[in-house]
């Protein structure tokens, strides 16, 4: 790449080759998304039959919005709403609790802090699969089975969010906080007025990752609810997979419905996300 | 120390403390308890059966396959995803323009739901798909999800597709931390391209590579969605992961006691494997003097 005896034109040639290779590779990597979008608009006799369909229709989407041939009216819109409610509520809790716990662990000196810190690390690296069955039983006993509570509350704490915020807050000098305290600020105000504005980039990383993970969760959402009107979009799509395998067009349209919100958010937050990633990768 | 801080500290951490009590410590203890019972999730009463569940688990084809499938996935997924993300990061690091555009583009697959990627792949591999038609045209007829190794490979490829951009991000920031002057000095000393990679790039990239490898190995212990959606663990248990086995035993066969024992074994296997992999990777770094 950098050689003292390279002429300028051969460097330019190498650079163009790199651009060409990277673009080709990127095209291969995003092709599945392209394939999904094209197939969702494709004529039904072309779905999964062509690498690039050339005859288009909105039939898949109208099928989806009219509820297709399922008994429930508009199950997709309902499931989409469920996904939004559950993901937004869970993510909001994960962010709120992440910030609160991290502030205590990084900026407050209290008895038991180191113990809690170590315990969180232990908890983080514990193989979570062992908790699945008893967690389900606990949800059943509390009476949350088949309700939004089961989908929101147990997914309302993210250890990773706590961990990331703790590391980030530690890097913020204490002098900022002491100055604010001299001005009579309370801890909640310090959090809100100082810590959060200083951590916008890391917040966008944590927000996107936790929201994405919540939005695409399958196993938990699948076992926690039973009623058709409680299904999240991801679970509905998963359940339609088998019986509606003969209707691939609408399934692709459902996939677009599921993928689009996260991708749009990601592109909106793209720049902040990149700044934040620089920190998380250190 | 401000005495108020004790109360404040515990108040601020209380969401986590309650959460870990109800959804970590409680379930953990309950799981150990259940593993020694024959409860079927429905019957009001059940019995203690000692180590029967564990004996049964060791002999079952499902558990044996889950144990080995994890390592087979490693064999497919880890080299694939590391190679792909290395290629991506070597290509785009230090590009004068559009670097972040590329990074964002390669990251997009990470946002996908496993259900969606499974759906796309299933369509892509269906009997009448363009790729299979073309392959049949040149005399190759593969039932991708019907063969044990090809099914493993397909799921491994989906996972690699998903994680490449994420790991490339880590590796790129590792590559960028390497000082250009080192390369320039090496070029003046006439170091060849291959030895430059082995002597300079790899040692200095080791921390980022270590992180990536640990993450990649970790992924293989938690595969569920793609397998559930595409193969259901088949053909003949060839892609039956731990999560798949526990899910089937607990929520299809309703064997809460037995499934808890399997989950206990799964956690143990995961814990020991990750520990050993970590130690081996550290040893690899130390032996070569990279750490």
For every residue of chain B, DSSP letters joined together read --THHHHHHHHHHHHHHHHHIIIIIHHHHHHHHHTTB---SSSS---B-TTHHHHHHHH-HHHHHHHHHHHHHHHHHHHHHHHHHHHHHHHHTT-SSSHHHHHHHHHGGGGS-HHHHHHHHHHHTSTTSHHHHHHHHTT----TTTSHHHHHHHHHHHHHHHHHHHHHHHHHHHHHTS-HHHHHHHHHTT--HHHHIIIIIHHHHHHHHHHHHHHHHHHHTS--HHHHHHTTT-STTTT--HHHHHHIIIIIS--HHHHHHHHHHHHHHHHHHHHHHHHHHHHHHHHTT--
- Domains held by chain A: number: 2
Cβ–Cβ under 8 Å, residues A67 and A76: yes
**Shortest CA distance from A257: residue in chain B:** B116
Q: Are residues A209 and A272 in the same domain?
A: yes
Q: Which residues of chain A lie closer than 8 angstroms to B122, CB-CB?
A: 241
Per-residue pLDDT at A3 exceeds 60: no
In-domain check, residue A52:
yes
Q: Are residues A133 and A18 in the same domain?
A: no
Residue A251 in contact with partner chain B when CB distance is under 8 A: yes
Between A1 and B231, where is the model more confident? B231
Q: Are residues A53 and A101 in the same domain?
A: no
Between B276 and A111, where is the model more confident? B276
Q: Are residues A88 and A33 in the same domain?
A: no
In-domain check, residue A211:
yes
Q: Are residues A45 and A10 in the same domain?
A: yes
Q: Are residues A52 and A94 in the same domain?
A: no
Cross-chain residue pair A218–B113, CB shorter than 8 Å: yes
For residue A140, the domain's CATH number is 1.10.3720.10
Boundary of a domain, candidates A57, A86, A101:
A57
Per-residue pLDDT at A69 exceeds 80: no
Q: Which residues of chain A lie closer than 8 angstroms to B92, CB-CB?
A: 18, 22
Q: Are residues A52 and A93 in the same domain?
A: no
Res B2: pLDDT: 55
- pLDDT, tens digit, 9 for 90 and up, residues A6-52: 577 888 888 888 899 999 999 999 999 999 998 888 888 878 777 88
- Identify from A49, A93, A94, A134 which residue to disrupt to test chain B contact, counting B C-beta atoms within 10 A and taking the largest count: A134
Q: Name the range with the highest mean pLDDT among A11-15, A185-189, B175-179, B213-217.
A: B213-217
In-domain check, residue A66:
no
Boundary of a domain, candidates A12, A27, A57:
A57
Cross-chain residue pair A238–B112, CB shorter than 8 Å: no
Span A132-145, average pLDDT: 91
Nearest chain B Cα distance for residue A226, angstroms: 12
Residue A188 in contact with partner chain B when CB distance is under 8 A: no
- Identify from A33, A129, A267 which residue to disrupt to test chain B contact, counting B C-beta atoms within 10 A and taking the largest count: A129
Of the listed ranges A30-39, B51-60, B195-204, the least confidently predicted one is B195-204
In-domain check, residue A25:
yes
Q: Are residues A147 and A261 in the same domain?
A: yes
Indicate the residue of B9, B104, B266 with minimum beta-carbon distance to A113: B9
Determine the structural domain holding residue A53 and report its residue range.
2-57
Residues B3, A97, B263, B153, CA torsion sign: negative
Indicate the residue of A238, A252, A277 with minimum beta-carbon distance to B115: A238
Q: Are residues A271 and A142 in the same domain?
A: yes
Per-residue pLDDT at A76 exceeds 70: yes
Res A6: pLDDT: 57
In-domain check, residue A158:
yes
Per-residue pLDDT at B1 exceeds 50: no
Q: Name the range with the highest mean pLDDT among A35-39, A267-271, B78-82, B146-150.
A: B78-82
Cα B286 to Cα A28, A32, B279, distances in angstroms: 37, 40, 10
- Identify from B7, B16, B122 which residue to disrupt to test chain A contact, counting A C-beta atoms within 10 A and taking the largest count: B16
Per-residue pLDDT at A1 exceeds 50: no
Q: Are residues A185 and A153 in the same domain?
A: yes
- Identify from A127, A149, A153 which residue to disrupt to test chain B contact, counting B C-beta atoms within 10 A and taking the largest count: A127
Q: Are residues A194 and A98 in the same domain?
A: yes
Cross-chain residue pair B187–A39, CB shorter than 8 Å: no
∠ at Cα A122 (A117, A128), nearest 5°? 130
In-domain check, residue A232:
yes
Res A117: pLDDT: 92
- pLDDT, tens digit, 9 for 90 and up, residues A215-266: 999 999 999 998 888 899 999 888 887 766 677 888 898 899 999 999 998 8
Residue A25 in contact with partner chain B when CB distance is under 8 A: yes
Res B110: pLDDT: 92
Cross-chain residue pair B225–A251, CB shorter than 8 Å: no
Q: Which residues of chain A lie closer than 8 angstroms to B88, CB-CB?
A: 22, 25
- pLDDT grade for A68, boundaries at 50, 70 and 90: low
Q: Which residues of chain B lie closer than 8 angstroms to A48, CB-CB?
A: 123-124, 126, 128-129
Res B130: pLDDT: 82
Cross-chain residue pair A218–B228, CB shorter than 8 Å: yes
- Using a 10 angstrom Cβ sphere, with 0-12 exposed, 13-18 middle and 19 or more buried, the burial of residue A228 is middle
In-domain check, residue A62:
no
In-domain check, residue A69:
no
Indicate the residue of B15, B26, B106 with minimum beta-carbon distance to A157: B15
Tokens read off for A83 = 């996904």
Q: Which residues of chain A lie closer than 8 angstroms to B34, CB-CB?
A: 133-134
Per-residue pLDDT at B121 exceeds 80: yes
Q: Are residues A91 and A22 in the same domain?
A: no
């Amino acid at each position: 790449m950098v050689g003292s005896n390279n002429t300028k034109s051969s460097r330019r040639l190498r650079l163009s080759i790199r651009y060409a290779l990277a673009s080709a590779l990127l095209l291969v990597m995003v092709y599945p998304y392209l394939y999904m979008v094209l197939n969702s608009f494709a004529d039904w006799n072309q779905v999964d039959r062509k690498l690039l369909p050339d005859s288009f229709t909105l039939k898949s989407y109208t099928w989806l919005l009219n509820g297709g041939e399922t008994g429930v009216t508009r199950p997709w819109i309902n499931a989409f709403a469920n996904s939004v409610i559950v993901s937004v509520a869970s993510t909001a809790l994960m962010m709120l609790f992440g910030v609160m716990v991290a502030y205590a662990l990084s900026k407050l000196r209290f008895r038991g802090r180191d113990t809690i810190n170590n315990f969180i690390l232990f908890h983080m690296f514990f193989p979570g699969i062992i908790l699945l069955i008893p967690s389900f039983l606990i949800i059943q006993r509390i009476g949350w089975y088949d309700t939004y509570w089961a989908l929101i509350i147990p997914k309302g704490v993210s250890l990773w969010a706590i961990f990331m915020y703790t590391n980030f807050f530690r890097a913020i000098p204490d002098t900022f906080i002491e100055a604010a305290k001299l001005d009579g600020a309370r801890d909640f105000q310090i959090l809100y007025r100082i810590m959060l504005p200083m951590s916008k980039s890391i917040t966008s990383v944590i927000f996107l990752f936790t929201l994405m993970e919540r939005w695409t969760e399958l196993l938990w959402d699948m076992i926690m609810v039973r009623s058709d009107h409680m299904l999240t979009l991801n679970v509905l799509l998963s359940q339609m997979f088998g019986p509606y395998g003969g209707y691939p067009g609408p399934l692709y349209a459902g996939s677009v419905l599921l993928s689009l919100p996260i991708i749009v958010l990601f592109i909106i937050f793209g720049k902040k996300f990149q700044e934040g990633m620089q920190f998380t990768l250190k | 120390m401000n005495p108020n801080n004790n109360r404040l500290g515990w108040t601020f951490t209380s969401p986590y403390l309650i959460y870990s009590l109800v959804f970590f410590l409680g379930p953990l203890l309950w799981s150990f308890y259940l593993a020694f019972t024959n409860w079927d999730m429905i019957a009001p009463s059940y019995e203690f059966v000692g180590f029967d569940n564990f004996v049964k688990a060791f002999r079952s084809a499902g558990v044996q396959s889950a144990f080995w499938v994890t390592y087979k996935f490693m064999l497919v997924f880890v080299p694939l995803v590391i190679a792909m993300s290395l290629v991506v990061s070597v290509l785009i690091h230090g590009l004068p323009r559009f670097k972040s555009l590329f990074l964002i583009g390669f990251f997009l697959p990470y946002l996908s739901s496993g259900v969606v990627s499974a759906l796309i792949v299933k369509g892509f591999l269906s009997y009448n798909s363009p790729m299979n038609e073309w392959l049949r045209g040149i005399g190759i007829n593969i039932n991708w999800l019907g063969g044990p190794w090809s099914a493993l490979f397909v799921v491994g490829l989906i996972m690699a597709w998903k994680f490449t951009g994420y790991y490339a991000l880590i590796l790129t920031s590792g590559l960028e931390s390497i000082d250009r002057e080192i390369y320039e000095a090496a070029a003046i000393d006439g170091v060849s391209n291959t030895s430059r990679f082995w002597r300079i790039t790899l040692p200095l990239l080791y921390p980022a590579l270590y992180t990536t490898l640990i993450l990649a190995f970790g992924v293989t212990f938690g595969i569920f969605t793609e397998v559930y959606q595409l193969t259901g663990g088949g053909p003949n248990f060839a892609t039956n992961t731990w999560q798949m086995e526990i899910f089937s035993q607990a929520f299809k066969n309703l064997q809460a006691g037995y499934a808890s024992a399997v989950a206990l074994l799964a956690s143990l296997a995961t814990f020991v494997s990750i520990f050993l992999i970590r130690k081996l990777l550290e040893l690899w770094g130390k032996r070569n003097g990279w750490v």
